[in-house]
Structure 1
Amino acid sequence: MAITVFMGFFAMMNPIANTAVFIGMTANKSQQQRKNTTVKALLTAFVIITSFCFLGKGIFEIFGITLPALRLSGGILVFIVGYHMLHGSSSKLHSHSASDTGDEDKDIAISPLALPILAGPGTIATAMNYSASGQILHIVITIIAFALLCLITFICFLYGAKLIEKIGEGGISITTRLMGLILTIIGTQMFIQGVHDAYLLFQGSAITR
């Protein structure tokens, strides 16, 4: 499960492609300012994902949401993001518009970096899907996997300029498409699991009637 969770987060966040976005958004900043922005953005994203991991079950109970419903909708959401990446474009769920960086004084660490680029709807859906069972082991594994990915993203952002120079635009394009393929597969798997769970849920409800 740990590898599946990590790969799901890795494909969704795509740290290599996001590094190019980060470099473009912080082109006029010093190395120290880039480091501060990176730390703030990743900490914010980590807090958001951790909160949804712990509060996911409570959110379900408050709004009457079932786990199959999350897996079905989450699978569709993850598939859409992956589909756009597979075709070499960024989904609007995990991208920023030109107006987001129009104000030079705006703190980009919170928006759009932390949300929606790092911890967008797809990433949140992925986290909740893996931790929604409420079992502490699943929650811990999900949080550790995301923390590890945050560390990898930190390194990519910190040495982003050199990384982009080495792999070039072609490398970024290939990586994005590969991550998109992985995401579409994960989204499909989540959807299939949701259909299976929904069938069992309705079957169980029919028996108890």
Structure 2
Amino acid sequence: MQVPSSMLSSLVTLFVTIGPIETAVIFAGLTAGVHHKDQRSLALRSVGIAGLMLLLFALLGNLVLSLLHVSLPAFRVAGGILLFLQGS
């Protein structure tokens, strides 16, 4: 099965933006004294909320940008600048 290049590009961008390794380290540090069962519950709830937010922005993002009178190219440039600043 061949994956479309746009889907692969989106997946790589999502992976780089979220930084799962760094996020896991931060989560482990914040929940160091929490019982394992509660840690699992927090992790599942966090992933669910993040997934819901991703879905909402994927479905309604263009509407929100149009209501704010922000073009997609301008949003991409601003996102690129933020990623550049985060990386430096």
For the pair 1:38 / 2:43, whether they are aligned, the reply is yes
**Partner AA of 2:63 in structure 1:** G
Aligned to 1:51: 56
Q: Which has the higher contact order (CA 8 A, sep 6+)?
A: 1
For the pair 1:20 / 2:25, whether they are aligned, the reply is yes
CA distance in 1, matches of 2:12, 2:87: 13
CA distance in 2, matches of 1:23, 1:60: 35
Aligned to 2:9: 4
TM-score, normalization: structure 1? 0.38
Does the residue aligned with 1:58 lie in a helix, a strand or coil?
helix
Structure 1 residue runs of 4 or more that deviate by more than 6 Å after TM superposition? none
Sequence identity (%): 25
For the pair 1:79 / 2:84, whether they are aligned, the reply is yes
For structure 1, the 5+ residue unaligned runs are: 84-209
**Partner AA of 2:23 in structure 1:** N
Greater Rg, structure 1 or structure 2? 1
CA distance in 2, matches of 1:61, 1:18: 31
For structure 2, the 5+ residue unaligned runs are: 1-5
CA RMSD of aligned residues (A): 1.1
What whole-Å deviation, never above 9, does each CA across 1:12-47 have from its counterpart, x for those lacking one? Answer: 111112111111111111111110000011111111
Q: Following superposition of structure 1 onto structure 2, how do residues 47-196 of structure 1 map, counting pairs within 5 Å?
A: 47-83=52-88
What whole-Å deviation, never above 9, does each CA across 1:65-100 have from its counterpart, x for those lacking one? Answer: 1111111111111211222xxxxxxxxxxxxxxxxx
